[in-house]
């Protein structure tokens, strides 16, 4: 377990040190809270911290990921200190952002740093309680004169064999960890028993968002009224507060974050989503917070615009007006599409054209 944690944490630390320059000049946290996939309300306030605090955060990150893992190989008390630091670090990440269930899962291996004695305070001392029964079993085993059973030897053989297998499979993982060209999130055997992991090797410096809009009018006319779709959690309406959903995970919102710094050609699923919205498809609209065409006929055209988002400053004019974000239009992301214009695309991608859900006429 100590090896698992050391590999996990050290991989994350090494990929950062070798990755983005901001990890080395201690400025990554200047951007992280604003540009992480799905910020929460605490992210807004953490972003406003002084730069010296952000540098301290970055140094702390390096300490936790590059130094603390080695405490797990040391005697009991130091091992528990290492586990406690890791858990506290994950709690801070949980509080300061919506990183789904990732941080919650990372806490689980760290619990192995605490033995039964260190966790005994969680249980009652009363007779017939858990602690009393454990002591009874321990005393029985201690004073037992029976020789070890065959099962004990088999378990030892299995444990040693498993340790040997993991050590053998870990050779390329360790080589990758020490390499100047360290690969992130990679498997080195067909069964993927031992892997390398890394996160946030680079930090996005600007936040951009893809905003879907629909209209009944002529998409090329300046008089067309475009209405925005609002997703469940990702930034959209600048007056809406960031959500708090961890450990729950809105996968579509998460994918929209990645799509924002690419283009729709690399994300053809975005066109498919647009087609679903053109039909007011229930499965698609159930994944978003606000469908401006709910209860109406679906829009004739859908487009996606590209915006840059930045937090407003605390006590600024925008913040006092109830705005959490301020945004600037970057340009068009997906040009206007209609159900007729995407038929060839849908056929090429082997997508099924959705059935139009017609409501009352607009």
- In order along its 362 residues, the chain shows pLDDT tens digits of 555 555 566 667 777 877 788 999 999 999 999 999 999 999 999 999 999 999 999 999 999 998 998 898 899 999 999 999 999 999 999 999 998 888 999 899 899 899 888 888 888 777 777 777 777 777 877 777 677 677 888 888 998 998 898 888 888 887 877 777 777 777 877 877 777 776 777 889 999 999 999 999 999 998 999 999 999 999 999 999 999 999 999 999 999 999 999 999 999 999 999 999 999 999 999 999 999 999 899 999 999 999 999 999 999 999 999 999 999 999 999 999 999 999 999 999 999 898 887 665 44
CB contact at 8 A, 104 and 247: yes
The closest of 116, 57, 110, 55 to 84, measured between CA atoms, is 110
DSSP state letter for 295: T
> CA-CA distance, 336 to 351, in Å (whole number)?
19
The count of residues in the chain is: 362
Angstrom distances, CA of residue 307 to CA of 84, 173, 211: 41, 40, 7
- pLDDT computed for residue 34 by the predictor: 96
Q: What is the pLDDT of residue 20?
A: 81
pTM to 2 decimals? Answer: 0.83
Residues 175-206: b if buried by 16+ CB within 10 A, e if exposed: ebbeeeebbbeeebeeeeebbbbbebbebbee
Contact between residue 300 and residue 215 where contact means Cβ atoms under 8 Å apart: yes
Angle at 287 between CA 285 and CA 293, to 5 degrees: 25
The sign of the dihedral angle between the CA atoms of 107, 110, 112, 113 is negative
């Amino acid at each position: 377990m100590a090896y698992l944690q050391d590999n996990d944490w050290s991989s994350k630390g090494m990929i950062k040190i070798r990755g983005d320059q901001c990890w080395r000049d201690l400025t990554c946290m200047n951007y992280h809270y604003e540009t992480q996939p799905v910020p929460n309300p605490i992210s807004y306030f953490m972003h406003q911290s002084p730069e010296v605090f952000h540098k301290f955060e970055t140094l702390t990150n390096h300490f936790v990921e590059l130094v603390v893992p080695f405490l797990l190989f040391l005697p009991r008390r130091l091992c528990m200190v290492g586990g406690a630091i890791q858990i506290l670090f994950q709690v801070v990440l949980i509080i300061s952002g919506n990183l789904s269930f990732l941080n919650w899962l990372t806490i689980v291996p760290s619990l192995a740093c605490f033995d039964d004695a260190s966790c005994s305070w969680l249980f009652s001392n009363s007779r017939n309680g858990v602690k009393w029964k454990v002591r009874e079993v321990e005393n029985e085993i201690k004073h037992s004169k029976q020789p070890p059973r065959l099962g004990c030897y088999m378990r030892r053989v299995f444990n040693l064999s498993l340790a040997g297998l993991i050590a053998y499979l870990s050779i390329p993982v360790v080589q990758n960890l020490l390499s100047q060209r360290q690969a992130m999130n990679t498997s080195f055997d067909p069964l993927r028993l031992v892997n390398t992991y890394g996160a946030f090797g680079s930090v996005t410096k600007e936040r951009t968002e893809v905003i879907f809009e629909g209209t009944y009018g002529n998409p090329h006319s300046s008089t067309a009224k475009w209405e925005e779709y609002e997703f469940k959690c990702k930034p959209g309406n600048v007056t809406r507060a960031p959500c708090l959903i961890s450990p729950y995970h809105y996968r579509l919102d998460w994918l929209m974050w990645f799509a924002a710094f690419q283009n729709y050609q690399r994300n053809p699923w975005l066109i498919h989503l647009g087609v679903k919205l053109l039909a007011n498809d229930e499965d698609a609209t159930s994944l978003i917070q606000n469908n401006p065409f709910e209860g109406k006929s679906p829009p004739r055209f859908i487009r996606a615009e590209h915006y840059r988002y930045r937090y407003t400053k605390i006590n600024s004019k925008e913040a006092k007006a109830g705005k959490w974000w301020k945004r600037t239009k970057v340009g068009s992301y997906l040009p206007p599409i209609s159900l007729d214009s995407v038929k060839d695309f849908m056929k090429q991608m082997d997508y099924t054209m959705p059935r139009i859900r017609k409501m009352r006429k607009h």
